[in-house]
Structure 1
Amino acid sequence: MKRRTIKLLSASVIMLTAVQVSEAQKGINSIYSAYGLGDYYIRDNNAYYGMGQLGVAMKSDKTINDLNPASYSSISAGRLMFDVSFGGSSVQYINERERHTAGDFTFRRAALGLNLINNVGTVIGLRRYTDVNYLTVGTKTIEGSTSTIPINIEGTGGLNQFYFGNSILIKKHLSLGITAGYLFGSVNQKQTASVPAAVFNFVNNTYYNNFTVNAGAQYQFNTKNLLWTLGAFYQPEINLKTLADQYVTGPNDVQIVADKTVDGRFKFPSIYGGGISMQNTKLKLGVDYIQHNWKATGYSGNGFESTNAQSFAAGGSWSLTRHTKWGDRPGLSLYAGYINELSYLIIQGQKIQSNSVTLGFSVPAGAGYNYYGYSAGIKIGTRGQGTYPLVKENYIQFCLNVSLSTIMMRGGRKYD
Structure 2
Amino acid sequence: MRIKLYSGFILLLLCSTAAKAQHGLNSIYSAYGIGDLESRDYSRNFGLGSTGIGRRHTGYLNELNPASYSALPTQNFMFDVSLKAQSINYSGSGISQSSGDVNFKRLAIGFKAAKFWGIGAGITPFSTVDYKLNNQQFVIGTGAPVTATTTGTGGINRAYISNGFQLSKNFSVGVSTAFLFGPLNTSEYVGSDSLQTQHNQYGFKPNFTLGAQYAGKISKDWQLGLGATYRFQTKMKLQEKLNIVDENGTTLYSKDQDPSSFTLPVEYGAGIVLTNGTITWVADYKHQLWNTLNEKGATYAYQDGQRYSTGIEYTLKRQYFNQTYEGTVLQAGFSYNQTPLVVSSTQIKDVSGTLGVSLPSKNGQLRYYIGLEAGQRGQTGTALVKETYVNAVFNFSLRDIWFFKRLAQ
Common topology (TM > 0.5): yes
Q: How far did residue 261 of structure 1 move?
A: 2.9
Query: Aligned runs of 1:17-416 on 2, under 5 Å?
Result: 20=17, 23=20, 25-140=22-137, 142=139, 149-195=146-192, 198-224=193-219, 225-367=221-363, 371-409=365-403
TM-score by length of 1: 0.90
Distance in 2 (CA, whole Å) between partners of 1:269 and 1:415 is 57
Q: Aligned AA for 2:396?
A: V
Secondary structure at 1:387 match in 2: coil
Distance in 1 (CA, whole Å) between partners of 2:130 and 2:57 is 32
Secondary structure at 2:134 match in 1: strand
Superposition RMSD on alpha carbons, in Å?
2.7
Q: Aligned AA for 1:90?
A: S
Structure-2 change in CA distance of 1:13 and 1:119 (3 Å): farther
Gaps of 5+ in 1: none
Structure-2 change in CA distance of 1:13 and 1:299 (3 Å): farther
CA contact (8 A) 2:16 2:83 kept: no
Q: How many residue pairs align between the two structures?
A: 408
Secondary structure at 1:36 match in 2: coil
After superposition, what is the alpha-carbon deviation per residue over 1:87-129, rounded to whole angstroms, capped at 9, x for unaligned?
1210000003231101101111111100131121111111111
Structure-2 change in CA distance of 1:325 and 1:106 (3 Å): same
CA contact (8 A) 1:51 1:360 kept: yes
349-358 or 135-144: bigger deviation = 135-144
Q: How far did residue 366 of structure 1 move?
A: 4.1
Q: Percent identical across equivalent pairs? A: 29
Secondary structure at 1:301 match in 2: coil
Secondary structure at 1:70 match in 2: helix
Distance in 2 (CA, whole Å) between partners of 1:94 and 1:249 is 33
Gaps of 5+ in 2: none
Q: How far did residue 328 of structure 1 move?
A: 1.3
Distance in 2 (CA, whole Å) between partners of 1:242 and 1:98 is 33
Q: How far did residue 27 of structure 1 move?
A: 1.5
Distance in 1 (CA, whole Å) between partners of 2:162 and 2:302 is 30
TM-score by length of 2: 0.92
Structure-2 change in CA distance of 1:99 and 1:238 (3 Å): same
Q: How far did residue 400 of structure 1 move?
A: 0.9
Q: How far did residue 146 of structure 1 move?
A: 9.5
Structure-2 change in CA distance of 1:259 and 1:302 (3 Å): farther
Q: How far did residue 44 of structure 1 move?
A: 1.5
Q: Aligned AA for 1:154?
A: T
Secondary structure at 2:256 match in 1: coil
CA contact (8 A) 2:214 2:225 kept: yes
Q: How far did residue 141 of structure 1 move?
A: 5.9
CA contact (8 A) 2:354 2:374 kept: yes
Q: Aligned AA for 1:129?
A: F
CA contact (8 A) 2:262 2:294 kept: no
Q: How far did residue 189 of structure 1 move?
A: 1.0
Structure-2 change in CA distance of 1:317 and 1:249 (3 Å): same
